[in-house]
Structure 1
Amino acid sequence: MRPHHLAWSVCLIPIIAAHGSFLFGLWEGVANECVPYVGGCTSISRAAREGNAIFLFRGLMMPVAALLVLFWYLQSVWLKQITQKAHFWTFVSGAIGALFLILYVDFLGTEGDFYRFLRRYGTTLYFALTVLAQMFSIRSLQQKSAELDTHIRRYLNLQFLLMVLYWCLGIANVVIKATGVSWADQSENVIEWHFALYMSFYFGLSAMMWKRSRFDWQFSVGKP
């Protein structure tokens, strides 16, 4: 498997896990029927823990956590090749975020306020630290944008656009919840589905960058 295949795995497996779990719930008759990106009838967590969908979600997302640690190691090595600088914090942020993904997935489906707190704690820090690592990476590449291949620069611009979307979604969520409108929970679910999808797209764009630059395992050994 080439490095860009690993990056595609980190992109596609979470998408398959979330949507597959929702469709599995529909098939079992335990999930609400709607388009979650529009209706917000369920969150990703709720869709994943309804019925037997939890086994599909856990079975796919646990390996993703390990792949994410490897991805951020490779990303930091790739960035070092381009910038001639170490990217320790990019790796650390992404790797710790992956550990919190394990915490979230492990306690998914458990009952009680304490376990609910751990799930929310895990998913919040997973998203926050993963996005932080993405921000570090984008900023490092932007500083060398004039030296980048045209296609890689285009993919970088798309990653930056995703980052703008993250912030817009986050601000919208805060504003809607602050207003206390009756549909705030549904709105939060809609935003969560979009946010998770766009966050996965980042890794697909990274895969195309790696492939374009011919990044391979033989160039991947070293300090981040």
Structure 2
Amino acid sequence: MPSDQRIKLAPLGFFTAALTLFIIHLCWLIASSQGFIDWCNPYWADCVSISKTGRNGIAYFFFKGGIISACVLQGMIWQLCRYWLLSLGTKKGGALPYLGWAAAVALIIYTLSLGHSGDTFRLLRRFGVILYIGLSYICFISVESGLLQSHLKSAGKAMLIYSKGLLAVALFSLVLDAAMGDEYDRIENAFEWWLLGLLNLQLFWLAALWRYNGAHITVASRN
């Protein structure tokens, strides 16, 4: 007889969102306690970049292992989002699996280039993080566009407003960069921390929506 097993998607979403934030803050704590970086508030001026927390000591291994694991999980999230949208009756988000895995690969490139000096690795880090944030943002927009065509339309509208706010923060940072010149270096890292935090907050939101909607996958077997 056939046997079906339902696996809820919400726990995967919550774990994935929490993992990235946990790892970067853990590495900040370890690197600070081991003296590789100065004690400071990463969400304020004159502190360190996210990448610097994982360049030395034990934090180096936690950062690489944790972030690469999060990359794989995020790729799975976007793959599952495609099927979830289909189950909601919308054909939006057809490119989600490709964009999602491309974002994951970009972040892996960024992570693997940490701890290495030289212009090439610096370029890889910059390319990786910009591509990751950009593609992840497009993935969220794709999901939200799909939700607008489903019975979860109100949630899609709210998430879309949030995404626009996130874009406004990113554009504001560029305006400050142009206006402040070298002084912007004092707050550049803080914007990086805030943007990544806000991006992951949206992933928590997606997981909460999965829980509300009862999103799941079914594993079936025939005895």
- What TM-score results when the alignment is normalised by the length of structure 1? 0.88
Q: Distance in 2 between matches of 1:54 and 1:135?
A: 33
Residue by residue over 1:18-76, the C-alpha shift from the partner in whole angstroms, topping out at 9 and shown as x without a partner, is 11111111110121221111124111011221433111111111111111111111111
SS class of match (1:217): strand
Q: Distance in 2 between matches of 1:49 and 1:42?
A: 12
CA contact 1:96–1:129 (8 Å) conserved in 2: yes
The 10-residue stretch of structure 1 (45-54 or 3-12) with the greater mean CA deviation from structure 2: 45-54
Q: Distance in 2 between matches of 1:10 and 1:40?
A: 29
Between Structure 1 and Structure 2, the one with more helix by share is: 1
The corresponding residue for 2:3 is none
Q: Distance in 1 between matches of 2:60 and 2:13?
A: 24
CA contact 1:21–1:47 (8 Å) conserved in 2: yes
Report the CA distance between 1:165 and its aligned residue: 2.8
The corresponding residue for 1:222 is none
Q: Distance in 2 between matches of 1:92 and 1:171?
A: 26
Q: Distance in 1 between matches of 2:202 and 2:126?
A: 23
SS class of match (1:134): helix
Cα distance 1:103–1:171, how it changes in 2: closer, same or farther (>3 A)?
A: same
Residue by residue over 1:111-133, the C-alpha shift from the partner in whole angstroms, topping out at 9 and shown as x without a partner, is 11111111111111111101111
Between Structure 1 and Structure 2, the one with more strand by share is: 2
Cα distance 1:177–1:168, how it changes in 2: closer, same or farther (>3 A)?
A: same
- TM superposition outliers: structure 1 runs of 4+ over 2 Å: 156-162, 180-183
Report the CA distance between 1:86 and its aligned residue: 5.3
Where in structure 2 are the equivalents of 1:118-157 lying within 5 Å?
Answer: 118-144=124-150, 147-148=151-152, 153-154=154-155, 156-157=156-157
1:79 aligns to 2:85 (yes or no):
yes
Report the CA distance between 1:181 and its aligned residue: 3.4
1:18 aligns to 2:19 (yes or no):
no
Whose Rg is larger? Answer: 2
Q: Distance in 2 between matches of 1:153 and 1:218?
A: 27
Report the CA distance between 1:192 and its aligned residue: 0.6
Report the CA distance between 1:83 and its aligned residue: 3.0
Residue by residue over 1:169-200, the C-alpha shift from the partner in whole angstroms, topping out at 9 and shown as x without a partner, is 21111111112434211221111101000111
CA contact 1:90–1:134 (8 Å) conserved in 2: no
Q: Distance in 1 between matches of 2:143 and 2:100?
A: 10
Identity %: 24
CA contact 1:21–1:53 (8 Å) conserved in 2: yes
Amino acid at match of 2:195: F
1:34 to 36, 40, 43: 40
Where in structure 2 are the equivalents of 1:54-93 lying within 5 Å?
Answer: 54-85=60-91, 87-93=93-99
- What TM-score results when the alignment is normalised by the length of structure 2? 0.88
Amino acid at match of 2:24: A
Q: Distance in 2 between matches of 1:10 and 1:171?
A: 26
Amino acid at match of 2:42: P
1:160 aligns to 2:155 (yes or no):
no
Q: Distance in 2 between matches of 1:31 and 1:193?
A: 16
CA contact 1:162–1:199 (8 Å) conserved in 2: no
SS class of match (1:38): coil
Cα distance 1:84–1:143, how it changes in 2: closer, same or farther (>3 A)?
A: closer
Q: Once superposed, what is the RMSD of the aligned Cα atoms?
A: 2.0
Amino acid at match of 1:74: L
